[in-house]
Amino acid sequence: MKENLLFTSAGDNTKFYDIWCSEDRNYDIFICYYGDDVENKYQEYSDHYLKRKGSKMQNFHHVWNTYDDVLIKNYKNYYIVDDDIIISTKEINELFILLNELNVWILQPSFSFKSQVSHGITKQKKDSKYRYTNFIEINTPFFSNYAITECMKVYDPILTGYGIDILFMWTLGTDKEDKYVIVDYISCVNPVRLKREIDKLEIVSTRIENWNKIQKILQIPNIKHKNFSIIR
């Protein structure tokens, strides 16, 4: 058992196995297969494996609260990543190391110019090494054990994608000026797609509606994105 864990929900339209699974990785891999193919698809690439329908965070939440036998809560750090993110084993290794060195709660690689970008703050800055910020997007975050433990206390599986990053940042505190980092010297590609896999699970309007319900119940304000400091 390594001290780091990469977790993804993988469908039938991914080639993660070509880029994340090198033997020199400093992390274990947990594959939750949600597709419709054979039972053990991708199992050969994983240290832990499950076949289950659902989104990435729904499946991680299920594993976190169900599978004590794989010691899921004993990892030091977690990379909970969409199955289409393009990033190398070497870069993932380095980001796990940086998470420890900086002693931050959540970290993400920036998105390269080739990426689909939903939040401008996550786009790669060429004049920056990394930035302390108040926002990390949910599709490619690295968590410390402390951070993911706190986030799992508030996560509701009704949320499949939309709003989860806001929920997690609100839970941990958006006023923390040294706990969240966007890394610019390592970027990843979030592929541009007209239709994403998550849309097959739940349409956008329903995802937004479910988030609005949670946001209203918990009285969570919207986050105005901010870089606290830039390290060059």
Residues 152-210 pLDDT 10s: 999 999 998 889 999 999 999 999 999 999 999 999 999 987 667 776 777 888 999 99
Mean pLDDT calculated for residue range 29-38: 90
CATH of the domain at 209: 3.90.550.10
| Average pLDDT score over residue span 120-142 | 97
Asked whether the CA dihedral 109, 110, 115, 119 is positive or negative, the reply is: positive
- Report the b/e string of 134-153 with b at 16+ CB within 10 A: bbbbbbbbbbbbebbebbbe
93, 27 in Cβ contact below 8 A?
A: yes
pLDDT of residue 6: 98
Contact 159, 57 (CB under 8 A): yes
* Number of structural domains the chain divides into: 1
Average pLDDT in the chain: 94
pLDDT tens, position by position, 68-109: 766 899 999 999 999 999 999 999 999 999 999 999 999 999
| Residue 80 lies in domain | 4-231
| Whether pLDDT at 10 is above 80 | yes
**Can you tell me which residue has the tokens 């209203």?**
216
Location of structure tokens 């070509």: 18
Return the pLDDT at 156.
95
pLDDT of residue 36: 85
